[in-house]
């Protein structure tokens, strides 16, 4: 075994160990099975990955959480992921994007065929858009941070209310775009002109 292949093997072992530590804290057999499947695809496609194992282990968890929430309804905050895997959320997000690039085609086919998404509707689509564009971004860092009294700057009920309202609005837009595309174009362009004239394009 060459030095590079030995290093790669050790890295995969470290990733597996970090994932096992994670699942000891958050037991979920179904989630663990998905993580192992993702890791197998990752190993098969990128046998010589570089970078810290914590980034890849955290990236796996973050990538999977985009569509498969942990049982027990536990919301894992960014600060928890950083502590568990010893790396920054920036690294974890970067690794998650790379993982999705590798496995999304195969996993996407499995996902589309799954019972959970046979009746995928506009609200499901809106939820996914909001999670991608809003929920799993900088607002989660604010949600996870605390004020001088040790309270979350955005509480869990407040975050839930924000996401429900955002997803409801996006679903309304998707329905308008699908059913009355001309009305949608008039509305969305007018809204942009009124509220987004100085936004980055």
Burial class (CB in 10 A: 0-12, 13-18, 19+), 195: exposed
- 1-118: CATH topology is Cyclin A; domain 1 (1.10.472)
Q: What is the pLDDT of residues 142-166, one digit of tens each?
A: 887 878 888 888 888 898 999 999 9
- pLDDT at position 166 is 94
Confidence of residue 77 (pLDDT cuts 50, 70, 90): confident
Q: From CA 119, how far away is CA 117, in angstroms rounded?
A: 5
Task: For the full predicted model, state whether its pTM sits above 0.85.
Answer: no
Residue 69 has pLDDT above 60, yes or no: no
- pLDDT at position 117 is 61
- pLDDT at position 183 is 94
Q: From CA 183, how far away is CA 179, in angstroms rounded?
A: 9
Q: From CA 12, how far away is CA 93, in angstroms rounded?
A: 19
Q: What is the pLDDT of residues 117-144, one digit of tens each?
A: 667 789 988 988 998 888 878 888 888 7
Place of tokens 């309202």: 165
Residue range(s) of every CATH 1.10.472 domain in the chain: 1-118
Q: From CA 129, how far away is CA 170, in angstroms rounded?
A: 8
The residue-averaged pLDDT of 101-122 equals 66
% residues pLDDT > 70 (the chain):
81
DSSP H helices, the chain, are 3-25, 29-45, 53-65, 78-85, 89-113, 122-130, 138-144, 156-179, 181-195
% residues pLDDT > 90 (the chain):
29
Residue 73 has pLDDT above 50, yes or no: no
Of 125, 19, 110, 116, the closest CA to residue 62 belongs to 19
Place of tokens 């001309």: 182
Of residues 146 and 167, which shows the higher confidence score? 167
Q: From CA 169, how far away is CA 187, in angstroms rounded?
A: 13
């Amino acid at each position: 075994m060459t030095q590079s292949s030995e290093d790669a093997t050790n890295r995969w072992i470290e990733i597996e160990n970090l994932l096992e530590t994670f699942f000891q804290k958050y037991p979920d057999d179904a989630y663990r099975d998905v993580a192992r499947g993702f890791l197998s695809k990752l190993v098969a496609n990128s046998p010589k990955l570089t970078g810290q194992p914590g980034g890849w282990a955290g990236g796996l968890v973050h990538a999977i959480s985009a569509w498969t929430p942990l049982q027990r309804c536990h919301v894992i905050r960014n600060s928890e992921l950083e502590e568990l895997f010893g790396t920054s959320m920036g690294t974890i997000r970067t690794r998650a994007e790379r993982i999705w690039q590798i496995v999304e085609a195969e996993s996407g086919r499995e996902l589309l065929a799954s019972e959970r998404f046979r009746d995928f509707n506009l609200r499901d689509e809106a939820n996914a858009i909001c999670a991608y564009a809003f929920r799993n971004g900088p607002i989660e860092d604010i949600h996870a941070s605390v004020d001088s009294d040790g309270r979350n700057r955005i509480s869990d009920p407040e975050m839930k209310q924000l996401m429900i309202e955002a997803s409801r609005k996006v679903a309304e837009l998707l329905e308008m775009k699908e059913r009355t595309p001309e009305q949608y174009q008039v509305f969305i362009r007018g809204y942009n002109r009124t509220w987004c004239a100085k936004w980055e394009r």
